[in-house]
DNA sequence: CAATCAGATGTAAGCGCTTACATAGCACTT
DNA sequence: AAGTGCTATGTAAGCGCTTACATCTGATTG
């Protein structure tokens, strides 16, 4: 500005000073009446609140943030809200943080590491005090940038033993080892796999690794012609199952799917092809969405409590903000839900 | 503070002044190098950027917001993220706003008007510059509070002709009139209805009204024993269909559902009960979720482009922020998707 | 060659609030 | 009566940045 005058502040609303004047107190008291009511005599507090209401005043966020060095903002970075799994995680996180007065700012990476970095940069520029990010496959320096600003963070949806980051999630590799063991125990030796894009996606990569390793221990390998990678959709599940079953050579007796949407697609297509599930073909999903128990046959899948991930992430961050140095949260358990889409391997492939 | 001294600023990071010193320029130039690069000579800009990188500096959001009176924050209020419909709306909104540098802050009301008011209060206290809120059934003064702070807003997911608020959505009543007409044309006279909770929910209320009115025009009334209101879930859809079909008296030949989850539940239960769809019973949904075309038989439903709602809401708000006075956005069309779950009414009820 | 002008940079006044410290008032002690 | 604690309130110094205006430098022009 430079000028002495802005006397009549062009526009906008009341300032703390106006409220103070109207209430006949100082701005310090106005501030305290709002931020530390117990430090202000009840009748004065009343007066201040009344004056504020009359002027429609509320502390200006930027002024407050600047002076108090608190923004009460936390950020969450997810691939997309179009996936229930992340949506419910964010929902639970928001609910929990909101209860402690922290507001959630959201960023979507669309499964792209550059967008992820960019969204986080912007959230930091908006003053987030804590951050929850899905996964740990990010650009080099990604976590350093966050930590460098003194912002506590937590990785969600995966929990890799040995990861240097605090994380709230489950062990994706272990979850798929569990699925693999289940099918091996049923006698399956010929497997198919339909999964989501794995690029920049540590969760998917860990799952594939868990599956492959466990199969390999029994001397079983996935044939490339029985593996499909593509978008998460019922349609892709259908089309993949069909092309897998049409591939030359012996058919798989079990098809493992990266999530329930793909598995439901596979199930629908198997029915359309007249392939009996589970007599001829076992199919597994992942997530245990609501629909999974309603399919025909109901889907064997892994259950993960996504809302719980959000809640724990929130609790962890809240503890960090409170200045405590919480221990890294323990991994969550994923649980195999046995339903009728898996059964003993057919005699011959 | 009061003291002269905080000489060595206890903690934290570099300030614009430090960057300025390192780069050998004034803070004004530092600021310009970041916010209006074209106003700074290229070589000086370089120097500033280098100095900033070296110190790990980034404009402090509160300082910037205070001085510039811009927060680049927008809020979105929805009932819950657990519903795809809202999740995809928020996702699209976020994507669009983010492209213009606006970050999205999220609040969930859990379908409760008090929580809605509270969340909005908090978002205003965090400095949102624009707001998208689902629905217009809110506490008295809700919109006045927002408008009173000069914050532009838009109502989403409903578009009631005659509403005083700018809104981006479709006409819920008209959509259900359309469904009703479809079924009436197929000869149905006995209707059932399974719908979500209607309290504080103008969208649901409008739908019920559209349905009832259209049926009434043909002299048809919904029998209370054929109406169920409850949670949005496949399970509630199943259980409702069963109890409707078990109710004494003539059975409905068509059951209208408030959304696809309920309809899918109804469909599954009909199959379980051995009731032929559509020969004996027609069932309709709403939303056209991915699963709707995969059910057996595929579900007749209304398609609404939720992402488009988010996008248009974002565009409208962006235009407001740009100082334009955009015309209120036109309503979206919802479209009846005819599939095999509806058919001619059975001869006798 | 002086005058004019445009562009680049610096100067410094806030933006509106919080909070450390000072102070005033009051009730008790001793 | 003076001293001792408290508590409730006021004082005023920033928090870190942006930006209007002033200034300076060169280039352009008549």
List pLDDT tens digits, range B134-149: 999 999 999 999 999 9
Beta bridge partners of A287: A303
pLDDT of residue A255: 98
Closest CA to A294 of A323, A326, A268, A322: A268
With a cut of 60, say whether residue B22 has pLDDT above it.
yes
Strand ranges for B196-343 from DSSP E: 227-229, 254-257, 282-284, 301-303, 335-337
B58, B94, B95: residue with CB nearest A124: B58
Question: Is B218 in the same domain as B149?
Answer: no
With a cut of 70, say whether residue B30 has pLDDT above it.
yes
For chain B positions 144-203, those within 8 Å of chain A (CB to CB) are 148-150
Question: Is B299 in the same domain as B187?
Answer: yes
B95, B105, B233: residue with CB nearest A105: B105
pLDDT of residue B7: 35
Domain assignment of residue B179, yes or no: yes
Nucleotide nearest to A3 (CA to C1'): C13
Domain assignment of residue A243, yes or no: yes
Domain assignment of residue B3, yes or no: no
pLDDT of residue B13: 79
- Give the whole-angstrom CA distance, residue A246 versus residue A255: 14
Question: Is A119 in the same domain as A231?
Answer: no
B contact test, residue of A103, A129, A236 with most B CBs within 10 A: A103
8 Å CB contact of A268 and B98: no
8 Å CB contact of B126 and A101: no
The pLDDT tens digits of the residues spanning B79-129 come to 999 999 999 999 999 999 999 999 999 999 999 999 999 999 999 999 999
Question: Is A119 in the same domain as A197?
Answer: no
Residue A111 domain boundaries: 73-167+306-326
8 Å CB contact of B88 and A81: yes
CB closer than 7 A to strand C: which residues?
A 1-4, 6, 9, 12, 15-17, 27-28, 30-32, 34-35, 57, 59-60, 62-64, 66-68, 70; B 1-3, 24-29, 32, 39-41, 44, 63, 66-67, 69
- Give the whole-angstrom CA distance, residue A55 versus residue B120: 19
Q: Is the CB of B223 under 7 A from strand D?
A: no
Question: Is A144 in the same domain as A184?
Answer: no
A contact test, residue of B62, B82, B122 with most A CBs within 10 A: B62
Question: CA angle B273-B275-B279, nearest 5°?
Answer: 170
Q: Which residues contact residue B140 at a Cβ distance below 8 angstroms, ignoring those fewer than 6 apart?
A: none
Is the alpha carbon torsion for A178, A183, A184, A190 positive or negative? Answer: negative
Q: Closest approach of chain A CAs to the CA of B127, in angstroms?
A: 6
Which chain B residues are closer than 8 Å to A108 by Cβ?
91, 94-95, 98
CA distance readout (Å), A336 to A175, A287, A300, A306, A332: 8, 10, 7, 15, 13
- Give the whole-angstrom CA distance, residue A329 versus residue B165: 45
pLDDT band for position B174 (cuts 50, 70, 90): very high
The domain total for chain A is 3
CATH of the domain at A46: 1.10.260.40
pLDDT of residue A11: 42
Domain assignment of residue A294, yes or no: yes
Question: Is A102 in the same domain as A193?
Answer: no
Instruction: List the nucleotides on chain C closer than 7 A to a protein CB.
Output: 8-22
Dihedral angle of Cα A133, A135, A141, A142, to the nearest 10 degrees: -20
Question: Is A272 in the same domain as A180?
Answer: yes
Cβ–Cβ under 8 Å, residues A151 and A129: yes
Pairing mode, strands A191-195 and A227-229: parallel
B contact test, residue of A55, A59, A124, A127 with most B CBs within 10 A: A127
8 Å CB contact of B149 and A56: yes
Which two tokens mark B26?
């004034």
Which two tokens mark B332?
């979206």
pLDDT of residue B323: 86
Question: Is B299 in the same domain as B310?
Answer: no
Task: Print pLDDT tens along chain A (349 aa).
Answer: 333 333 333 345 789 999 999 999 999 999 999 999 999 999 999 999 999 999 999 999 999 999 999 999 999 999 999 999 999 999 999 999 999 999 999 999 999 999 999 999 999 999 999 999 999 999 999 999 999 999 999 999 999 989 999 999 999 999 999 999 999 999 999 999 999 999 999 999 999 999 999 999 999 999 999 999 999 999 999 999 999 999 999 999 999 999 999 999 999 999 999 999 999 999 999 999 999 999 999 999 999 999 999 999 999 999 999 988 899 899 999 999 999 999 999 765 4
Report percent pLDDT > 70 for chain B: 96
CATH of the domain at A102: 3.40.50.2300
Domain assignment of residue B6, yes or no: no
Question: Is B328 in the same domain as B220?
Answer: no
Question: Is B86 in the same domain as B26?
Answer: no
Q: What is the CA radius of gyration of chain A?
A: 27
Question: Is A204 in the same domain as A300?
Answer: yes
Domain assignment of residue A337, yes or no: no
pLDDT of residue A325: 87
With a cut of 70, say whether residue B11 has pLDDT above it.
no
Q: Quick one: how far is CA A337 from the chain centroid?
A: 22
A80, A88, A104: residue with CB nearest B82: A88
Q: Phi/psi at A150 (nearest 5 deg)?
A: 75, 20
pLDDT of residue A12: 57
pLDDT of residue B325: 87
- Give the whole-angstrom CA distance, residue B29 versus residue A261: 53
Question: Is B88 in the same domain as B203?
Answer: no
pLDDT of residue A348: 52
pLDDT of residue A323: 86
Which two tokens mark B10?
């206890």
Domain assignment of residue A32, yes or no: yes
Which two tokens mark B75?
């809020």
Domain assignment of residue A242, yes or no: yes
């Amino acid at each position: 500005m430079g000028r002495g005058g802005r006397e009549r502040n062009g526009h906008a609303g009341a300032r703390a000073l106006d409220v103070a004047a109207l209430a006949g107190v100082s701005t310090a008291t106005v501030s305290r009446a709002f931020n530390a009511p117990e430090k202000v005599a009840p009748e004065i507090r009343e007066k201040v609140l009344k004056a504020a209401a009359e002027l429609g005043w509320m502390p200006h966020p930027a002024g407050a943030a600047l002076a108090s060095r608190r923004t009460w903002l936390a950020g969450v970075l997810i691939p997309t809200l179009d996936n229930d799994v992340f949506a419910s995680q964010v929902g639970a996180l928001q609910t929990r943080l909101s209860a402690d007065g922290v507001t959630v700012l959201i960023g979507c990476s669309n499964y792209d590491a550059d967008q992820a970095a960019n969204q986080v940069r912007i959230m930091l520029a908006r003053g987030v005090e804590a951050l929850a990010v899905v996964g740990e496959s990010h650009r080099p320096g990604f976590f350093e940038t966050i930590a460098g600003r003194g912002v506590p963070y937590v990785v969600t949806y995966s929990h890799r033993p040995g990861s240097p980051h605090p994380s709230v999630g489950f062990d994706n590799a272990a979850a798929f080892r569990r699925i693999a063991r289940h099918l091996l125990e049923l006698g399956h030796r010929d497997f198919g796999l339909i999964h989501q894009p794995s690029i920049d996606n540590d969760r998917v990569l860990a799952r594939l690794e868990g599956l492959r390793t466990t199969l390999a221990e029994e001397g079983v390998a996935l044939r490339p012609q029985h593996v499909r990678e593509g978008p998460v959709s019922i349609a892709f599940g259908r089309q993949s199952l069909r092309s897998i079953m049409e591939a030359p050579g012996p058919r798989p007796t079990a098809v493992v799917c990266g999530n329930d949407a793909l598995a439901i697609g596979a199930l629908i297509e198997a029915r359309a092809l007249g392939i009996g599930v589970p007599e001829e073909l076992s199919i597994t999903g992942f997530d245990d969405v609501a629909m999974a128990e309603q399919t025909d046959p109901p889907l064997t899948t892994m259950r993960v409590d996504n809302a719980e991930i959000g809640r724990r992430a929130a609790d962890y961050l809240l503890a960090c903000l409170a200045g405590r140095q919480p221990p890294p949260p323990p991994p969550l358990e994923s649980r195999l839900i046995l339903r009728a889409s898996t059964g003993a391997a057919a005699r011959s492939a």
